[in-house]
Chain A
Amino acid sequence: MILREISLRNFRNYLKLNLRFDNRLNIIIGSNGVGKSNLLESIYILGFGRSPWATLNRDVINFNENWSTITGHAKDRNIEVKVKFLSNGHKKAEVNNKTVKSLSELLGLFTETLIGHEEINLVRGAPSYRRKLMDMHISQIDPEYVQCLNKYNKAVTARNKILEKLKGDGVVGGKVLLESWNDILVQNGAYIIRKRKAFLDKVEKQCKEFFSFLSNEPEKLDIEYSPSFEYSSVEAIEEDYHKKLNEKYSRELRYSNTFYGPHRDDLTITLDSRSMRRFGSWGQSRAASISILLASAQLLEDFYNCKPILLLDDCFTDLDEIRSRRLFELAPQIGQTFISSPKPLSFTQNTDGFTYKIHPSGVVERMQ
């Protein structure tokens, strides 16, 4: 869905802001700290119902106010999404003025991919970045996935707590309780693994193409998902999963920790069969990260048959002129693009689309 218009009230540094956006390309320029990322964050919240960063809900409310709203209008389907933050840390969402029961109902309306400071570390950073990438995209195309992920995470926390008790003085029926949580862990874990695998199979094909376009070199990019279990069918995963839990029980007990499952998953990303994490240059790693994210965005289009929103927050740093130019060319073809940058980008002259300049006063000016 194309985001036609946004209005912010008391959101971060914006007391009142109304902006219209171009269908293809929107560039946001301004010095450090003027509120570029804040603006992209507000767009992200319309899609996901929460901030991409681990901020407290009330942190997005302007320092001097006690509530905040973000309202987004879609262009093509007359949809209005509104997210409201309250001072007590609660938030509410409305779609066309009707309150939704759960914020996860927003997923799938404005479908989005964020490529920002963290995401750009996809290849080099910790495994949690790669899991977040998968979760961010699969949850937009599969509501069941969100539920499973919630249940799974609860099961991990509950198990660890029970393991700790079992190690200590034990609880009545503790072992049966642990086995019950094992069932929940395995059921939901197997679903998550299956969905991640299917997602990555599709992403891999597309991202090779994007990577060679961006880098203009014939290197071969591969992604491999290696879940901790025998992968052939759901039954096989579940069986192997249970087997591992049984085998490693004493180790898990010793550390009161759950060692196996999708919360420990990782991806192996290689360039010409060499680990990119270990041998890739920063530029190559960034180009690979960006290709994977663009490919994930492309999947959103394949699924919904309408273009996603791309949020490119400060991601031209570290890319050379050619790669930057190509990314700039490619992104708007995949979806409605928002680019933030502290300095004007040389290659953006004479392109259509909207350019906004944010002044340190918070005033946002449309440039011609």
Chain B
Amino acid sequence: MASRNKIPETLERVCDEFSKLPGIGKKTASRLAFYIMNLPREEALRLSESIEALVENVRFCSKCFNITESDPCPVCSDPGRDQEVMVVVEEPNDMFAIEDIGEYHGLYHILGGAIAPLDGVEPEDLHIRELIERIREGTIREVIIATNPNAEGDVTSVYISKLLKPLGVKVTRIARGLPTGSDLEFADKTTLKKALEGRTEE
């Protein structure tokens, strides 16, 4: 019996790994794999090294859940930052978007998502308990909630403020100034700046 020409197993493994990534299907996965095979050796290895370094060196900040190479992260360990205000965001990227404006100098807390019962995300799956603990410490005067202006972001904001208000902290929301349905991370700087200035009490 003639042996059939099959895709080498090593290649298939790479394709499998790629297709597990969000937004990448079987077709794209094999295109990426072939692309990498055609790269100069050093370049291809640089990719695998950088992934290794990411996994080894980058972690979540144990205070704010920002992604960081040092724990606590540079923001949490900077005494020059305003220790009395805190912005609460869904994802690290939202934090970077706010940092980019350069107007805000307080602390952050990253939830790691938003309440989305239809996607199976419950409050317990987010860093809400840790947020409450940080507020209980008593230094924070104002919490500015900057979740996305969609149903999930809205309800997360309402939920958090219901839990925080009894602790005697002022709770405001910025996203009202943003066009509904658009993600914080993609808002342009001026809009984001305005939203931050024009926050309303939740």
Contacts and interface: CB of A to CB of B under 8 A. Distances in A.
Nearest to A148: B180
Contact of A184 (B124, B154, B182): B154
B159 interface: yes
Interface in A147-178: 147, 150-151, 154-155, 157-158, 161-162, 171-173, 176-177
Contact of A176 (B152, B163, B182): B163
A177 B123 contact: yes
A348 interface: no
B180 A180 contact: no
A278 to B, nearest CB: 38
Interface stretch (B28-36, B92-100, B114-122, B192-200): B114-122
A173 B180 CA distance: 27
B153 to A, nearest CB: 10
Contacts, number: 50
A277 to B, nearest CB: 33
B118 A180 contact: no
Residue picked from B115, B150, B151, B162, most chain A C-beta under 10 Å: B151
Contacts of B181: 102, 104, 147, 150
Given A102-B181, A173-B123, A177-B123, A154 B151 contact: yes
A316 interface: no
B155 interface: yes
A144 B122 contact: no
Contacts of B115: 177, 180
A177 B118 contact: no
Contacts of A173: 123, 163
Interface residues of B, number: 18
Given A102-B181, A179-B162, A171 B151 contact: no
Nearest to B202: A183
Nearest to B161: A180
A183 B173 CA distance: 15
B158 A183 contact: yes
B123 A157 contact: no
Interface residues of A, number: 24
Interface string B155-169: 100110011000000
A172 B124 CA distance: 8
A181 interface: yes
A158 B152 CA distance: 10
Contacts of B154: 151, 184, 187
Interface string A326-342: 00000000000000000
Given A157-B118, A158-B118, A172-B124, A180 B159 contact: yes
B151 A151 contact: yes
Contacts of A176: 159, 162-163
Contacts of A102: 181
A181 B115 CA distance: 10
Interface string A28-65: 00000000000000000000000000000000000000
Contact of B155 (A101, A144, A172, A180): A180
A172 B150 CA distance: 24
B158 A184 contact: yes
Given A102-B181, A173-B123, A184-B151, A161 B158 contact: no
A144 B162 contact: no
A184 B155 contact: yes
Nearest to B158: A180
Contacts of A101: 182
A180 B180 CA distance: 19
Contact of A150 (B117, B122, B151, B159): B151
B180 A155 contact: no
* The 7 nearest A-B residue pairs measured at CB: A180-B159, A154-B151, A151-B151, A180-B158, A147-B180, A158-B117, A183-B158
Interface of B: 115, 117-118, 122-124, 150-152, 154-155, 158-159, 162-163, 180-182
6 contacts: A101-B182, A161-B117, A173-B123, A176-B162, A179-B162, A181-B155
Given A180-B162, A184-B155, 11 more contacts: A151-B150, A151-B154, A154-B118, A171-B122, A176-B159, A177-B159, A180-B115, A180-B159, A183-B155, A184-B151, A187-B154
